[in-house]
């Protein structure tokens, strides 16, 4: 019959001094990993909310590029028509213009709607903020960084366009 004696952690540490050092080292690693595991849901939530911003930026970029392509097609067709008419009438060919393309920007309504529009002063009077695609992406990037760092926590995906509008409207008021 074997005899087994129960030992406490202190007894084990006294009997095996090297185990004590290993236990302290392992405990520190275990605690740091446990903290990391506890932070994972928070980080996951932040990344999920940041992905909302990425999706909005990508949708807006695609919409802008589609309208830009249509403007370029229209500009090409009008240049061809002007060239044909000038040739038939034997008039000098006017310089082709890129007016519509240079006037294209993003209009952001207070409701959060974001659409490509032609830059116009009457839009500003109705509360619509107009910005270039680059400015829009810059503000979206700042909001994404704020979400990832925990400074900003939108509850729903449809809050993001309004946050961008408020940020841009505040920027226009300051300038």
- DSSP string over 56-121: HHHHHHHHHHHHHHHHHHHHHHHHHHHHHHHHHHT-PPPPP--HHHHHEEEEE-TTS-EEEEE--H
pLDDT at 88: 66
Domain total for the chain?
1
130 backbone dihedrals φ, ψ, rounded to 5°: -110, 130
pLDDT at 140: 92
Beta bridge partners of 164: none
The angle at the Cα of 55, spanning 175 to 148, to the nearest 5 degrees, equals 70
**167 found inside a domain:** yes
Q: What is the pLDDT of residues 72-128, one digit of tens each?
A: 787 777 777 767 766 666 766 655 555 545 678 888 888 888 988 887 766 677 788
- Kindly tell me if the per-residue pLDDT of 170 is higher than 90: no
How much is the mean pLDDT over the chain?
Answer: 80
Collapsing DSSP to helix, strand or coil, 130 comes out as strand
- Kindly tell me if the per-residue pLDDT of 36 is higher than 70: yes
**46 found inside a domain:** yes
> Bigger pLDDT: 78 or 1?
78
pLDDT at 1: 46
Domain that holds residue 40: 9-174
pLDDT grade for 151, boundaries at 50, 70 and 90? very high
**3 found inside a domain:** no
The angle at the Cα of 105, spanning 74 to 72, to the nearest 5 degrees, equals 20
**1 found inside a domain:** no
pLDDT grade for 5, boundaries at 50, 70 and 90? low
pLDDT at 91: 66
pLDDT at 141: 93
Predicted structure pTM score: 0.64
> Bigger pLDDT: 61 or 119?
61
Q: Distance (Å, rounded) from C-alpha 153 to C-alpha 147?
A: 6
Which two three-digit tokens encode residue 109? 């309504």
Rg of the chain over Cα atoms, rounded to whole angstroms, equals 31
**144 found inside a domain:** yes
106 backbone dihedrals φ, ψ, rounded to 5°: -105, 130
**4 found inside a domain:** no
């Amino acid at each position: 019959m074997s005899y087994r004696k129960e030992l406490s952690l202190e007894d084990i540490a006294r009997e095996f001094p090297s185990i004590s050092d290993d236990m302290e080292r392992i405990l520190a690693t275990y605690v740091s990993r446990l903290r990391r595991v506890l932070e994972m849901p928070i980080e996951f939530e932040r990344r999920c909310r940041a992905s909302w911003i990425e999706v909005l930026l990508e949708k807006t970029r695609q919409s802008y590029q589609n309208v830009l392509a249509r403007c370029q097609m229209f500009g090409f067709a009008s240049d061809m028509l002007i060239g044909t008419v000038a040739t038939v009438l034997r008039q000098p060919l006017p310089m082709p213009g890129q007016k519509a393309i240079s006037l294209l920007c993003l209009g952001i309504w207070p409701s959060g709607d974001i659409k490509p529009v032609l830059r116009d002063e009457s839009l500003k009077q109705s509360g619509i903020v107009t910005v270039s695609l680059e400015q829009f992406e810059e503000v979206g990037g700042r909001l994404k960084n704020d979400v990832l760092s925990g400074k900003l926590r939108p509850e729903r995906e449809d809050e993001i366009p309004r946050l961008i509008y408020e940020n841009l409207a505040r920027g226009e008021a300051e300038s």
